[in-house]
Amino acid sequence: MTTPALQTRLPAVGTTVFTLMSALANEHGAVNLGQGFPDFGCDPRLLDHVNDAMRAGHNQYPPMTGAAPLRNAIADKIAALYGHRYDVASEITVTAGATQALTTAVLCCVHPGDEVIVIEPAYDSYLPAIELAGGVAVTVAMRFGEDGYHVPWDAVAAAVTPRTRLIIVNTPHNPTGSILQAADLEALAAIVDGTEILILSDEVYEHMVYDGQRHESVSRHPVLAERAFVVSSFGKTYHVTGWKIGYVAAPAAMTSEFRKVHQYNVFSVNTPMQHAIAAYMDDPQPYRGLPAFYQRKRDLFREGLAGTRFTLLPADGTYFQCVRYDAISSMKETDFAKWLTAEVKVAAIPVSAFYRDANESGVVRFCFAKQDETLLTALERLQRI
């Protein structure tokens, strides 16, 4: 018997660099600072809430849009932090993680031939989602220098055509750790004002902004909020990435189209976890305290690298630290990351992997969402280079 031939919908997609580097880290016993997930547990109180929800009978399908207590909690949080009140019934949807939210948002509004502006380096799900929708990705590279990465809004404006349907932004930004400022949102608003262009704002690291700076959510900007899907992730916020629960906030007309796709690719999301998170959100301290929690880890990691031959780039948000390694090697980024994993036994991710066409700048990304002991072990190894 022969399996029938199958024409791929994603011909450019193979094994991701994240899978490759994690496998290499396991093979060599390396400290894995590559993939972006914590190696520590969540608050035990959150687990208690899960048990309570299960024992209370919250074990069947929830509403397609999300459990009402959680949608209420999300609406209250956004209003308190960003001053924008989304309607609980018609403007907030709970999703199976942020990646599902991002893909569903693209699928519900991008039609064959529509153009989507993607600012690179970019999270790796954006381009496949656009391809699945039949859209055309138009990439704009961030400007890179000694002061880190910045969005060139003049280049974004120049990329807009009559076929532009969507612009994807990400703040705090993975992989660079940069954040958008109020002036950036004004620049974006000037580009889309008076057009039919929509915004997809990936804000999964919204609670990881450092040095007293504030997260400039698209939700707080009226011109942008009226045309934006805003995505966030409880997995990132509460150290439970494996739970895969996120949400999308968007105007009612956009949410209606989003839910048409959502109901047929996921329908609903883990019920007891939704009720547990809703109960846990009664206390805002866990997310309000997150900047200080991760800033301490960032500072520990940066201080440990300060005396090495790595050049630290700014890390204003997320739990990622990018470094230049040109004083150490002239290898291409993927080769250097492999060498670092096999020989130094610390795994990192090449930033070139976040571009459609490999863009070599001699930069790799470390994740510092790790126990102090993990970071100190990695630092001891990196300091030998």
Residue 11 lies in a domain: no
pLDDT, mean over the chain: 96
Q: Is 297 found in the same domain as 175?
A: no
Q: Residue 364: which H helix or E strand, with range?
A: strand 363-367
pLDDT of 14 higher than 90: no
* Distance in angstroms (rounded) separating the CA atoms of residues 365 and 336: 12
Q: Residue 75: which H helix or E strand, with range?
A: helix 68-82
Q: Is 61 found in the same domain as 23?
A: no
Q: Is 271 found in the same domain as 138?
A: yes
Q: Is 225 found in the same domain as 153?
A: yes
Q: Is 363 found in the same domain as 295?
A: yes
Q: Is 236 found in the same domain as 134?
A: yes
Q: Is 363 found in the same domain as 247?
A: no
Q: Is 278 found in the same domain as 349?
A: no
* Distance in angstroms (rounded) separating the CA atoms of residues 5 and 128: 21
CATH number, domain containing residue 323: 3.90.1150.10
Residue 374 lies in a domain: yes
* Distance in angstroms (rounded) separating the CA atoms of residues 370 and 224: 35
Residue 18 pLDDT level (bands cut at 50, 70, 90): confident
Alpha helices in 83-181 (DSSP H): 88-91, 98-109, 126-133, 153-159
Give the end of a domain, one of 286, 313, 328: 286
CATH number, domain containing residue 220: 3.40.640.10
Answer yes or no: are the C-beta atoms of 135 and 13 closer than 8 Å: no
Residue 28 lies in a domain: yes
pLDDT per position as a tens digit, 199-248: 999 999 999 999 999 999 999 999 999 999 999 999 999 999 999 999 99
pLDDT of 1 higher than 80: no
Q: Is 50 found in the same domain as 29?
A: no
* Distance in angstroms (rounded) separating the CA atoms of residues 321 and 250: 31
Q: Is 298 found in the same domain as 274?
A: no
Instruction: Considering only residues 274 and 18, tell me which one the structure prediction assigns the higher pLDDT.
Output: 274
State mean pLDDT over 67-84. Answer: 98
Q: Is 344 found in the same domain as 260?
A: no
Domain that includes residue 56, residue range: 45-286
Q: Is 236 found in the same domain as 121?
A: yes
Total number of domains constituting the chain: 2
* Distance in angstroms (rounded) separating the CA atoms of residues 369 and 298: 9
Answer yes or no: are the C-beta atoms of 119 and 168 closer than 8 Å: yes
pLDDT per position as a tens digit, 127-165: 999 999 999 999 999 999 888 999 999 999 999 999 999
Residue 358 lies in a domain: yes
pLDDT per position as a tens digit, 98-107: 999 999 999 9
The percent of residues above 90 in pLDDT, for the chain, comes to 93
